[in-house]
Chain A
Amino acid sequence: MISLAYRDVSNSFGRYLLTGIGLGLLIGVTLTMAGVFRGMVDDGKALLRSAGADIWVVQQNTLGPFAEPSSLPDDIYRGILALEGVSQATNVAYLTLEVSHGSRSVRVMLEGIDADSNRLPLTAGRPVSRSHYELVADERSGFRVGDRIPIHRHEYEVVGLTRGMRSPSGDPMLFLPLKDAQEIQFLKDNDALFRDRRQLQENPRLNPPGNPALLDAVEESLFSNHRVNAVLVQLLPGTNPWQVADEIEKWLRLTAYPRDEMEEILIGQLIAMASKQIGMFLVILTIVSAAIVALTIYSMTQTKLKEIAVLKLIGTRNALISRMILLEAIGLGMIGFLTGKLAVTYWAPLFPKHVVLLPEDTFRALLITLVICVLASIAGIRAALRVPPGSAIGG
């Protein structure tokens, strides 16, 4: 038996292919949106993975350090270390800033780490070994081993590279010694220091005559930083993280999040709004794709209503005509899907945001495309079935 769909498509293959490619670009955009969302989730998880903590300890009653500001004294970790089941407690500081890279600037997230507990997976170079002015950069930042990065008043040397370390916003991360991170966070320029000192000196309560030690103490307190954003806690094997978190909250009056809870904060709350927005885009793009397929199939059917009337008149079954329209719709969807998949594979690396394409998302997109095509073909099939065979006879 002659395949009506194959013959019809062959007859106007160029137009059919171009329509499919157009649809494919739309599917590609839809897949990219899904990939951007997955990328955000992946970035959040990557950050948690890189920290390697079982518990995140932050300022009391905050969702810090990413969802809310969190500030802790940098000696609080000693109290945590004393708790039963804790094997390691490490201070950590985070800050986002723009750094120069040649003639351009790169937005990065700095993570101040304790050099002793630095277990980053490196793809090049070595870990941070000195206590100052060295850092390990994520490859996506564009830095190479040996690059020197000016940050405020100091230059930092890139000694190692790592991969897949991004902030929840998708910015590449730079890992440097904790003390340096603390300094960068609170370091002021010379003019600001001069103004602050003069203000202190002119304040008789802070600079009383005959007591210069008081002014020294105040300055020391103001111009140095002993705060961190969080303490990362690692537990001994077999220790219940919820129990230790309860102990930290009860005795140290801090807030402690086991890893699962921190993941929930990062993914469920921090990127919830973005995911809803992307979800809306996905729904709109899906509706637009469905409308385009439906309109294309309907138009293709409309252009051959006379031929369909003739086919019906000479005895062609409705099932054969319906199959032709359905197969053409599915074929269009398949061309669109393959084009979209191909397009997103090639253009995803060009996106500034991390785009993650999961096989299950691709499979889901294929299923949705097929369902849309089947639904879209209904309009065309209805139009074809409504054509009376007698309309082939007479003017």
Chain B
Amino acid sequence: MAVTKTAPVENNDTQPAILVENLSKTYGSGSSAVHALKDASMQVLPGEVVGLLGPSGSGKTTLLQCLGAIIDPSGGRITLGGDLLFENGWQYSDRRTLRRDRIGFIFQRPYLIPFMDATENIAFLPMLQGKSNKQAYARAAELLEMLDITERGGARIEQLSGGEQQRVAIARALANRPPIVLADEPTAPLDSHRAMSVMKLLHKMAAKSGTAIIVVTHDENIIPVFKRLYRLRDGVLHEEEGEGRPFDYLNDEQ
């Protein structure tokens, strides 16, 4: 497994959790080529939560799949926690292990494994990593406690409410202490209060664990809470300052 260290980012004391430079992705070739990503660059610091916005078809999912080592970028560079992941090809031969150990995922729906209970859903990842059952269950218990759902640990997935399921999904994403979590519209199926509660949790977990979280969203209600945003338009990524409003701003407006 070849890993190339990159030099720390200039003018920044903290090494970014993820650094994306001039990333591009083209589907097809010749006249039918579709440029889904054009020289996209971004960086997210440890413990930071950034929003990734853009209309349908703007390339959000493509960017997420490139960052998640699911599809191959056409060019550019991805550095994760100082390790070069992609430049003229993946530097890790085993991308499944890379995803398991270094990247967390949260989906639109929780997509928890229905035949495992809440604790097992979380403990399964450390187990895949080779941790002992004892270590894996201890990590699961720790996360359940951080997310205030310790008492629901033994519950079957269908016995959990939507909000509880999303919490378990967040815990699973953090189970292997990844430097980065990719959250694909995690608040899409939730009402505004529950969505805000999830955002609050993501910020809390990012701050506690030092994990960087990229949140893809369309939700107009939660966009104001981001301090920093990236907006994708026709494959081009733009950085924007966010409002950074408090999580209870909706209550004030009402």
- Which A residues fall within an 8 A CB radius of B? 1-2, 4, 7-12, 304, 306-307, 310-317, 320, 388-390, 392-395
Contact = CB atoms under 8 A, between A and B. Distances in A.
B45 interface: no
Interface residues of B, number: 30
A390 B128 CA distance: 19
B125 A315 contact: yes
A10 B70 contact: no
Contact of B107 (A304, A310, A312, A315): A310
Given A2-B123, A394-B184, A313 B105 contact: yes
Contacts of A316: 96, 100, 128
A313 B172 contact: no
B68 A2 contact: no
A393 B65 contact: yes
Contacts of B96: 312, 315-317, 389
A43 to B, nearest CB: 50
Contacts of A304: 114
B18 to A, nearest CB: 17
B115 A7 contact: yes
Contacts of B125: 314-315
Contacts of A4: 115
B36 to A, nearest CB: 13
B21 to A, nearest CB: 22
Contacts of B107: 310, 392-393
Interface in B63-80: 64-65, 68, 70-71
Contact of B97 (A1, A315, A392): A315
B114 A310 contact: no
A311 B71 contact: no
B133 interface: yes
B4 interface: no
Nearest to B109: A306
A10 B99 contact: no
A394 B111 contact: no
Interface in B35-88: 61, 64-65, 68, 70-71
Nearest to B175: A314
Given A2-B124, A7-B120, A394-B184, A314 B172 contact: yes
Nearest to B169: A310
B20 to A, nearest CB: 17
Nearest to B124: A2
B128 A393 contact: no
Nearest to A312: B96
B115 A314 contact: no
A2 B131 CA distance: 12
Nearest to A303: B114
B115 A8 contact: yes
Contacts of A310: 105, 107, 111, 113
Contact of B100 (A9, A315, A390): A315
Nearest to A313: B105
A163 B68 CA distance: 75
Contact of A1 (B105, B113, B133): B133
Contacts of A10: 115
Nearest to A394: B61
Nearest to B99: A315
Nearest to B56: A395
A314 B116 contact: no
Give the one of B64, B111, B120 with max A CB within 10 A. B111
